[in-house]
Structure 1
Amino acid sequence: MRIIVDRDGTILDYAEMFYQFCSDLYRDAAQKPPPQAEINAPAYWASVWSGLRIGTKQVSDHVDEVVRRYLPHHGVLYDGVATAAAVLRERGYTLDLISGWVGSAETGTLLEELGIRELFDRVRTRDDLPGDDAGPVPDGAAKYRLALEGGAYRAEDFAFVVGDSSSDVDLARQLGVPCYLVGTGNGPTTSLAPDEDAFVTRVESFAALVSRPRLGEQRAGVREP
């Protein structure tokens, strides 16, 4: 069985990437950047999609640069991700890293540099969607298309979705599998189905749950293994 793992905020700590991206925009506009805590707050990310401008630039028009330019130099994984991925593989699961954002090549390179690329069978992002679908498709729908890969895979091939946002819940619902939301990234801000899904603090906690017998009895409200 396969487990879909989200990238940003789930295994990848993008805080420094995003901060450096915004800081450079402020410097290009001859403005002083706000404190890092402010830039990395969920409210600031929301403002990007509400029309935030820095100098003459609409930030949302340039946000893919966070991955293209800053992931290679500032991208880091959360503590315990490599261990968690190894545990899940040892338990017989196949891991697919699927993101609704861009950066398949950049992500694969980072995983190779960290020595864990082989732990993930597929690394797929919006880059891998057909050209007509790459732009306007909502994240949840994009992830669903990326997961099934044009019919190469079926919903029955998947056991869980692990992520940090409502798009991951949407993906799980479309696949008909439980969703486990981690508290990293912007943190879970969406409701889960009782007796089906769960909150966990991080991917490592999810891996520990999978290592227990009868995972189906581990339900919503789980905080730590």
Structure 2
Amino acid sequence: MQRKTVIFDLDGTLADTSRDLIAAANACFARRGLADVLDPVADASTAFHGGRAMLTLGASRLGLATELVDEEYPYLLEWYGENIDRHTVMYPGAVAAIEGLLAAGYGVGVCTNKPEGLAEMLLSRLGVRSLFASLIGADTLPVKKPDAAPYVASVERAGGVVSASLLVGDTVTDRETARAAGVPALLVTFGPDGRGVATLEPEGLLDHYDGLAGEVARLIG
């Protein structure tokens, strides 16, 4: 019997990491003598697209050359790693919902575009790493989402098969990853884009983790 598997994105899906991510980007500008460029609330959506996206946005606002992105990205990762869980929290109901999936026999894993080492660190600090049978980060494989390969690896390492799996995420990257892998996408609506993610036409929307079990049963049985 094929093991049904649910794979989760991390930032903006399992945990609200936006404040710590924005702080890391602002630290890059601060060491150049600049005031905070990004706002933890207004720019939360950009934060969930990663460090380079935040630096690119900040450079654009300041009229700085895009070379800044490559120059500051290593420092952003270093600073973020040292301050990774100052404000980050799991979304309400996430832990209980995942524990429910495990109790029901589903395989559970993480597929994120956060570097693997940082993802391991964050999930461990939040006390939830043991819930996930697999963790694929941006640098685990030669490619990252929206390529299907990281998703496929996360399913297989969790003991599942792609044809009996789904991806829970929050951005267009997750939507495109699910489409590339030929699996349903369940997008959360409690991120900065709210129900605006409906325009991505996912197979399901998740307003709260209380509804996860029902949506998973509907989409993959």
User: Which blocks of at least 5 consecutive residues in structure 2 are unaligned?
Assistant: none
Q: Compared with structure 1, are the counterparts of its residues 149 and 57 closer, same or farther at alpha carbon in structure 2 (3 Å cutoff)?
A: same
| Bigger fraction of residues in helix | 2
Give the TM-score normalised by the residue count of structure 2. 0.73
Separation in 1, partners of 2:120, 2:89: 13
1:25 to 28, 44, 47: 28
Structure 1 residue 42, shift from structure 2 partner: 4.3
Deviates more, 1:45-54 or 1:119-128: 45-54
1:126 is matched with which residue? 138
Count of aligned positions: 202
Separation in 2, partners of 1:126, 1:9: 16
Q: Compared with structure 1, are the counterparts of its residues 101 and 44 closer, same or farther at alpha carbon in structure 2 (3 Å cutoff)?
A: closer
Are residues 1:92 and 2:108 paired? no
Separation in 2, partners of 1:112, 1:47: 25
Give the TM-score normalised by the residue count of structure 1. 0.72
Q: Compared with structure 1, are the counterparts of its residues 85 and 65 closer, same or farther at alpha carbon in structure 2 (3 Å cutoff)?
A: farther
Q: Which secondary structure state, in structure 2, belongs to the residue aligned with residue 140 of structure 1? A: coil
Separation in 1, partners of 2:69, 2:16: 20
The 8 Å contact of residues 5 and 96 in structure 1, kept in 2 or not, is answered as: yes
Separation in 1, partners of 2:56, 2:205: 26
Structure 1 residue 50, shift from structure 2 partner: 5.9
Separation in 2, partners of 1:178, 1:150: 15
The 8 Å contact of residues 87 and 207 in structure 1, kept in 2 or not, is answered as: no
Q: Compared with structure 1, are the counterparts of its residues 79 and 174 closer, same or farther at alpha carbon in structure 2 (3 Å cutoff)?
A: same
Identity %: 21
Are residues 1:192 and 2:192 paired? no
Separation in 2, partners of 1:29, 1:40: 22
Are residues 1:112 and 2:121 paired? no
Separation in 1, partners of 2:89, 2:132: 16
Q: Compared with structure 1, are the counterparts of its residues 145 and 92 closer, same or farther at alpha carbon in structure 2 (3 Å cutoff)?
A: same
Instruction: Render the CA deviation track for 1:98-132: whole Å, top value 9, x for unaligned.
Output: 01332x222223323333222100011122113xx
CA RMSD of aligned residues (A): 3.5
2:212 is matched with which residue? 207
Separation in 2, partners of 1:59, 1:5: 31
Q: Compared with structure 1, are the counterparts of its residues 7 and 151 closer, same or farther at alpha carbon in structure 2 (3 Å cutoff)?
A: closer
